[in-house]
Structure 1
Amino acid sequence: RAQVPVWMPWPLPVGWLFTGVVSAGDDRSGGRATAVACSGPGPLGGAGEMLLVAEELGVGLGARYAGIDGLDPGPLMRVDQPPQTKVHAAGRPTPLWHVSGVPDDRAVFAGEARGLWLWVIVWPEQAGVLLYDEFVLTDLRDAGAEVDLLPCGALSPRVLS
């Protein structure tokens, strides 16, 4: 019933697991923001975690997980420069810019997909190199029976904080 995409890497990076989903909204109008958690081996060693957030303007769920003040990433992005990475969201190339002013333990990228904010937040910061390879996102609302095949792990404490 979410009114915004429920973004998920498709396919998941090798060894990664789906570890939770949350939404912000109400029962009447549906979710106005969603966050999907994934975790797995970091590309440079150790463990990595990722949150993918889709939200309407002014909701603030992505900013909360990013650890920044405010509701939207706009003032903290250098969109006058080329994007730092691109992902494919729902089949379209989607530029993402690095968001400055976040805590040192994470990397945060943000951009626009389907007219909504798309945030990618990774821990530790070095796990952000995942986004420099071909990275494809699908909207789980559109997925069919394949969703039953998602490898699931323990609930990420990050979605609860």
Structure 2
Amino acid sequence: MRGEPTCPKCGGRVRAPGLFSDSWQCAVHGAVQPLQPVIPPSVEALGVVVHRAQVPVWMPWPLPLGWLFTGVAAAGDDRSGGRATAVACSGPGPLGGVGELLLIAEELGVGLGARYAGIDGPDPGAYIDMSSPPHTKVVAAGRPTPLWHLKGVPDDRAVFAGEARGIWLWAIAWPEQSGLLLYDELVLTDMRDLGAEVEMMPCGALSPRLLSP
């Protein structure tokens, strides 16, 4: 899936840094962290993103029974490194059928998670009340991490968000019923912390969710 970098907020074309700007520019959103072209899932593709990432690369690990790694995306350029990452996996849904899960880690203002969530961004703050009790918790890098369920998202998905390692963590599940996965003590590992185990990653076909939120 070769191509040019795009805007993480809208998917539109971006202009590379030049004489008049030292950042990537979207005609709609101004300066952005460019979303790099998505490539088919493989251990090698995951390794490239992990090596460049300045934010966590979250993965349910070990993967739930029957689940596969189905793609990875990253926003950021060669100078800044990955400032947002999105990892897709899919497998048997908790209520039957096929479930898909997208995990996004991003710095403030990048907007990639909001785009995949199907909401106005760039961040989830307007959609959650972090002063209220969380709706669920996951274990991220060994730490209990509260997540809040977002309202006002498209009906075909369930969206949760919170903070892990000081930046936003989004968990987006399709169909909506697959959001039950987030109530099952899901354990997330930052792939940057994983060693040779990454070579055992079971890979499936590229998730269309990464290409068309």
The alignment status of 1:65 with 2:123, answered yes or no, reads: no
Gaps of 5+ in 1: none
Task: Describe the superposition over 1:98-155 as per-residue Cα deviations: whole angstroms up to 9, x where unpaired.
Answer: 1111000000000000110000000000001111112110011111110110111001
Q: Work out the CA distance in 2 between the residues paired with 1:143 and 1:113.
A: 17
* 1:127 counterpart = 2:173: no
SS in structure 2 opposite 1:53? strand
Aligned to 1:104: 155
Q: Considering only aligned residues, what root-mean-square deviation do their CA atoms show, in Å?
A: 0.7
Matched position secondary structure for 2:192: coil
Matched positions, count? 161
Aligned to 1:13: 64
| 2:102 pairs with 1:51 | yes
**AA paired with 2:102?**
L
Q: Deviations over 1:2-45 (max 9, x none)?
A: 10000000111111000000000101110100000000010001
TM-score, normalization: structure 1?
0.98
What SS does the corresponding residue of 1:141 show, helix, strand or coil? helix
Higher RCO (CA < 8 A, seq sep 6+)? 1
Is the partner of 2:83 in helix, strand or coil? strand
Number of the residue aligned with 1:88: 139
Identity of aligned residues (%): 81
Instruction: Give the structure with higher Rg (CA).
Output: 2
Alignment of 1:118-157 (within 5 A): 118-157=169-208
1:78 CA displacement: 2.5
2:56 maps to a residue whose letter is P
Distance 1:102 1:78 in 2: 15
TM-score by length of 2: 0.74
